[in-house]
Amino acid sequence: MTTQTETNVVECAKCGRRNRVPATGDGEPRCGNCHAPLPWIVDADDETFAEVVERSRLPVVVDLWATWCGPCRMVSPALEQVARDLAGQIKLVKVDVDKARQVSERFRVQAVPTLLVMRAGQVVSTQLGAAPAARLRTWVEEALAEERAAGEQT
């Protein structure tokens, strides 16, 4: 098993302190100063996908994108805004389909961007193509609400 040791540095929206956020972990990242939830935005590839996405305790928004894709470059800041807005509730994982062929094949990606909401390794919802931040946030919140409702019925 490959261990993902990369970290990103994220500024806390509440107090402004810069924090290191690991790609994996048991909980959700919080500011070391004020303990506010931090946005969890990381990259994954074929080797790290299982550890970064499937073992996440939080629901994961997976952005399957490509460097040559104009709409992907437009949707990326919108997804990052959603991750900031929903800090502590979701993890955003970006997967470059040209560098992660196995992941791309697994989810039968035929167009990018392809967006997934996943929980415990299972796809909860899919969004094809770019959309504005408000629409993406609504899509994520609806997927989370449906997933919670389904969990309560079992």
The C-alpha atoms of residue 23 and residue 46 are separated, in whole angstroms, by 14
* Residue environment code for 128-144, b if the CB has 16+ CB neighbours within 10 A, otherwise e: eebbebeebbebbbebb
Q: Quick one: three-class SS letters along 44-69?
A: ECCCCHHHHHHCCCCCEEEEEECCCC
Positions marked catalytic: 69, 72
State the Cα–Cα distance between residues 42 and 92, nearest whole angstrom: 6
Count of CB atoms situated within 10 Å of the CB of 37:
18
